[in-house]
Amino acid sequence: MEKPLNNRAWFLVMPVALIVAFNAILPLMTVVNYSVQDTFGNNQFFWNGTGWFKDLLDPNAELGGRFLAALGRNVSFSLIILSIEVPLGILVSLCMPKKGPGVAACLVIMALPLLVPWNVVGTIWQIFARTDIGLLGWTVSHLGINYNYTNEFFSAWFTIILMDVWHWTSLIALLCYAGLKSSPDAFYQAARIDGASRWSVFRAIELPKLNRVLLIGVLLRFMDSFMIYTEPFVVTGGGPGNSTTGVSIDLVKIALGQFDLGKAAAMSIVYNLIILSTCWVFYTVMTNVDAPDRPRDAKDGAL
């Protein structure tokens, strides 16, 4: 909606704009600067042009192979957790009580995992999944399953996926719950009268209502899981081998472990661009779905 313009308001934005300039644009420019140079330490830099970028996108180069593998792991991770968290979140939201004293309790319990800081989540699961003292690890390995996230590929992936599902399914569930609550009772009543099964009610009434919130949920979860760092770092440290090393973890390894600032800078720029373009795609889709209607005369506003 357009509002009358008053340009004086921009003065209020000035301090924020300055701060953002200092802590976002300046560091970003430094990164751009690094990405076109090479260094051998001693704070000496050599011009390298687009060399790092070429390496980065070439699967046969050492850097490119490493980057694309990490990127692949990131994509797989995001897809897996989305395909679990979205249906599970919807299911949970459908099971949540719509009224009564249970609502508040349910909401608090659901919100709990969301309130735990990332590194604490990692630590909790690091301990929880240990086979010697962790409840989960001990139970699973005593069931006769070979489970050890520190040295076995599937165990490691299973653990970080389970951890993410535990941490973030609530978000999807809460978003969906809010979406579901906005359907007037008349719709459910009409569906009952029409003899609709539970599944038909879901397909015909609930899912269309969830369209928009799910888009937001998927966007949030995709971006967040795509940039995941802390939790796998705390739990598996990216291992075993490189099996749980995503782009973020790899970036830190290159930048701070090997001190290859040029490679890391190029990598972070490409990584950033990927995230931005994904965001843009989502945004376009969402605004098209959400295309606002004209301001309707009050009468029509109800539904």
Partner 1 sequence: MARLELRDLSHSYKPNPVEPADWALKPMTMIWEDGGAYALLGPSGCGKTSLLNILSGLVIPSRGKVLFDDVDVTTLPTEQRNIAQVFQFPVIYDTMTVEQNLAFPLRNRGVEPAKIDARVKEVAAMLELTGDLKRKASGLTADMKQKISLGRGLVREDVRAVLFDEPLTVIDPHLKWQLRAELKRVHRQSKTTMVYVTHDQTEALTFADKVVVMYDGDVVQVGTPQQLFEEPAHTFVGHFIGSPGMNVLPASVAGGVAHIKGNEILLGRSYQPIDSAKRVEIGVRPEFLRLGSGTEGLPVTVKRVEDTGRQKIIRAELDGLPIAALAHEDETVPASGVRLIADPARVHVYADGQLVRA
Partner 2 sequence: MTVVLDKVSKVVRGSAHIRNVSLTLTPGTINILLGPTLSGKTSLMRLLAGLDLPTSGRLLVDGVDVTGKPVRERSVAMVYQQFINYPAMTVYENIASPLRVRGLAKAEIDTKVREAAQLLRLEPYLDRLPLNLSGGQQQRTAIARALVKDAKLVLLDEPLANLDYKLREELRVELPRIFEGKGTVFVYATTEPSEALLLGGHTATLREGAITQFGPTVDVYRSPRDRETAQVFSDPPMNFADATIRSGQATGPGGVALGSGGTLQGLPDGAYQIGFRPNHVSLINRSAQLVPIKGVVGVSEITGSESFVHFECGGARWIALEPGVHDHLPGAAIDVFLDPSRFFVFDSHSQLVRAPARTASL
Residue ranges that bind partner 1, judged by CB under 8 A: 184, 186-187, 189-190, 192-197, 200, 204-205, 207-208, 299-300, 302-303
Which one of the spans 1-9, 27-35, 81-89, 164-172 is the region binding partner 2 (CB under 8 A)? 1-9
Minimum CB distance to partner 2 smaller for 8 or for 99: 8
Longest dimension (CA), the chain: 78
Name the nearest CA neighbour of 266 among 49, 23, 40, 26: 49
Name the nearest CA neighbour of 166 among 136, 130, 125: 125
| 146 contact choice in partner 1, partner 2, none (CB below 5 to 8 Å, kind-dependent) | none
| 5 contact choice in partner 2, partner 1, none (CB below 5 to 8 Å, kind-dependent) | partner 2
Contact 205, 186 (CB under 8 A): no
| 2 contact choice in partner 2, partner 1, none (CB below 5 to 8 Å, kind-dependent) | partner 2
Sign for the CA dihedral angle at 10, 11, 14, 15 comes to: negative
Smallest separation, CB 205 to partner 2 (Å): 25
Smallest separation, CB 295 to partner 2 (Å): 5
Q: What is the DSSP letter of 7?
A: G
Which one of the spans 113-121, 219-227, 263-271, 291-299 is the region binding partner 2 (CB under 8 A)? 291-299
Contact 191, 207 (CB under 8 A): no
| 103 contact choice in partner 2, partner 1, none (CB below 5 to 8 Å, kind-dependent) | none
Which one of the spans 4-12, 33-41, 74-82, 171-179 is the region binding partner 2 (CB under 8 A)? 4-12
Beta carbons within 10 angstroms of residue 68's beta carbon: 16
State how far the Cα of 118 lies from the Cα of 232, in Å rounded to an integer: 10
Q: Which residue has the tokens 């075993």?
A: 240
Note whether 3 binds partner 2 by CB under 8 A: yes
State how far the Cα of 88 lies from the Cα of 78, in Å rounded to an integer: 15
Site track for partner 2 across 236-275, x = CB under 8 A? ----------------------------------------
Smallest separation, CB 287 to partner 2 (Å): 11
Contact 232, 160 (CB under 8 A): yes
Contact 56, 266 (CB under 8 A): yes
> Which residues contact partner 2 by CB under 8 A?
1-6, 291-292, 294-301
